A and B are shown apart, each in its own frame.
Chain A
Amino acid sequence: MTGNIVIISMVSMGGIGAALSLFLAYADKKLKVEEDPRIEALLNILPNTNCGGCGRAGCRVFAEALIQGTASVTGCVAGGQDIADSIAKYLGVESVKADRVVAVVLCRGGEKETVKNAVYKGERTCVAANLTGGEKACTYSCLGYADCVEACKFDAMTMNDNGLPVVFYDACVGCWACARACPRDIIEMHPMERKLFNYCRNKDKGAVARKICKVSCIACGLCVKDCAVEGGIEMIDNLAVVNYEKCPQDDQPTKRCPTTCILFGEEEKMTKDAYYSSLPKKAV
């Protein structure tokens, strides 16, 4: 009797299984969605990090745009030149030289340099702190709660012991995520060729700026005078702004800066290895 039950259940379950698998096999043929095989091939080339640096929702959308011809082969900022070349090769078009952009943090006023005039006890993110103004007296400065580091998907940023974000130049792919996350817009994206930056966004008058931060731009105008080309650096709203169309990239304007807020080539030094090997060794 027991043997009978086993046989009956095996046969009936097997039968139902067989019937359903036939149905599924039929449905697979009948309801098949034709997808462009090129999308799959492009996805194999792309980094698949879905960082959004191309301005699209993810890598698949970017691949579709490439096939439709609405995206440039250099559109994938995370991929850089190699991927741009591979995409061009696959699509049979001529490759273009990709402009590599990197994030530059335009504030050097960390814990040591700035004056604090309040205590912030709210949620520890920059966006939340920016609602009330944060702790530092400077209202243009880095808030220091690492929204940018949080946003970076390529492990190319960290907060240093001075409470400021550091960008690793070898790891930054230029996806804009950190620049978008910063509520005070102190992170900007610049091509690698640019090396002269005013690391300050403070638009207060010189006397005010000087009191609240040791490394603020005090609008003294020395860099404007020292720039080899007239109009290479302009003073706009109490802030020296480098005009990259005109200004030659050398260290001439930085030499007389009293607060060392304008610097040349500062960022190139920082690679991931250089940063971590510079940290004091800790006992494990």
Chain B
Amino acid sequence: MSLKTFDHGIHPSYNKELTNHKKIEKANLPKKVVIPLQQHIGAPCKPLVKKGDAVAEGQKIGEASAFVTSPVHSSISGKVKDIEKLPYPGGGKVLSVIIEGDGTAKEWGNGGIGLDLESLTSETLRNIIKEMGIVGMGGAAFPTHVKLSPPKEKKIDAFILNGCECEPYLTSDHRIMVEEPENVVWGMKALMKAAGVENGFIGIEENKSDAIEALEKVTRGSNIKVMSLETKYPQGAEKMLIKAVVGRKVPVGKLPMDVGVVVNNVGTAVAVYGAVKYSKPLIERVVTISGNGVKEPKNLLVRIGTSFEDVLNQCGGITKHGEREVLNGGPMMGIAQTTLDVPVIKGTSGITVLAGKEIKPSTYQPCIRCGSCVEVCPVNLMPYKLGDLGRLYRLDELKAWGGLVCIECGCCSYTCPSKRPLLHWIRVGKIKVREKEKV
């Protein structure tokens, strides 16, 4: 039987064997955390604490009044040292709260309010999810409660849990599915109830057979179906996943809810489990630390706000020689960092350190019109053309040729035999188009 999947895409070397058999370990309690007040898509939070305040673990420290936003919580108990603009793994600087810890950690697990999922209404669930600062943990960090509140006229009939983890090197979702499948399904049921959906699907790439097995065991006899999908990048991109699982195509410029689907990540489901069952805000997450540049690749449960340096030191540090590239995320979509002072945020699914041969050379050759990039583009664009339009700032044409549809998966740059940095050019072009539209 051929496995379900989407059209186009690539097969990069996954390198998951570095960490996919390693149990999730608890990271050391950080002495200091830096918590950015904007870790999500939407309005930035305003600080609720000031310099010198004592804060408890899980206390809300930032909030905004807009709908598309998500509050942030302190991940350790201690004292607010300062609030200032600090480097952010997504690029640039963001207003952040610096907290110095007092060395105590709270035991979450008692005093949960909603042990019985049946007694909660979907509205209460959505409120809990919003208050606990749950965002999409796959990387984009879109506030989850927004996804769960579709307008009335849009009927949602399918809920998909994204367990693809198609990004090379990363294994955090994989380990979560293997180690705590019950919690994943519990969280998924809560999410389905909050969205008012009956049919659930879990999409997993078939290279994670142990995860498929574990989840199938837990979901047997329920309305949740585990689907094994072809191992292909970018299988975990929202629109690709919908195409593979329910066979619907999300039109350009529309959202999954327009075709009656809500997609959430495995990590999000576990965070929802903690939030609903134990009233535990999103203050820690599983991060895969991998790549040739790391001495001891690991899957760590890290508190939000721990610096990259601290996390990497717990994995034996990074190799000292030659050029190294530290990425927030995996090698395909990750953003290169210029300093190790940046904190782990809600969207940090992994820290990848590339070294030696893994770093791509910076020289490129002319386009030979081979069409490889067109063949792999999952959203059917012509990257060779868009790349040039972006490079030359021909913005009207870039837009006309569908540049804004690009999901920035990087398949084109990966596959290009001339090593042309196509995605980089398209990204610059997209930024310029948006700037121009603002003016």
Contacts and interface: CB of A to CB of B under 8 A. Distances in A.
B434 to A, nearest CB: 12
B399 interface: no
Interface string A109-141: 000000001110111010110011111010100
A127 B431 contact: yes
B424 A123 contact: yes
A235 B384 CA distance: 48
Closest 9 CB pairs of A and B: A121-B362, A118-B338, A133-B338, A132-B336, A128-B428, A127-B428, A123-B424, A122-B424, A123-B421
A123 B425 contact: yes
Contacts of A128: 424-425, 427-428
Interface residues of A, number: 18
Contacts of B424: 122-123, 128, 131
8 contacts: A118-B339, A127-B432, A128-B424, A131-B427, A131-B428, A132-B337, A134-B338, A137-B338
B386 to A, nearest CB: 14
Contacts of A123: 391, 421, 424-425, 428
A148 to B, nearest CB: 14
Interface in B386-402: 391
Interface centre among B91, B336, B339, B361 (most CB of A within 10 A): B336
Contact of B323 (A117, A119, A134, A205): A119
A131 B91 contact: yes
Contact of B421 (A119, A122, A205): A122
B421 A132 contact: no
A119 B322 CA distance: 11
Given A134-B338, A205-B84, 16 more contacts: A118-B336, A121-B360, A122-B421, A123-B421, A123-B428, A127-B431, A127-B432, A128-B425, A131-B424, A131-B428, A132-B335, A132-B338, A133-B92, A135-B338, A137-B339, A139-B92
A117 B339 contact: yes
B350 interface: no
B261 to A, nearest CB: 31
A203 B84 CA distance: 11
Interface of A: 117-119, 121-123, 125, 127-128, 131-135, 137, 139, 203, 205
Given A118-B338, A122-B362, A133 B432 contact: no
Contacts, number: 48
Interface string B396-439: 00000000000000000000000001001101100110000000
B93 interface: yes
A119 B424 CA distance: 16
Contacts of A118: 336, 338-339
Contact of A139 (B93, B359, B421, B425): B93
Contacts of A117: 338-339
B330 interface: no
Contacts of B361: 121
A125 B428 contact: yes
B85 interface: yes
A132 B90 CA distance: 8
A133 B337 CA distance: 8
Nearest to A237: B85
Contacts of A131: 91, 424, 427-428, 431
B87 interface: yes
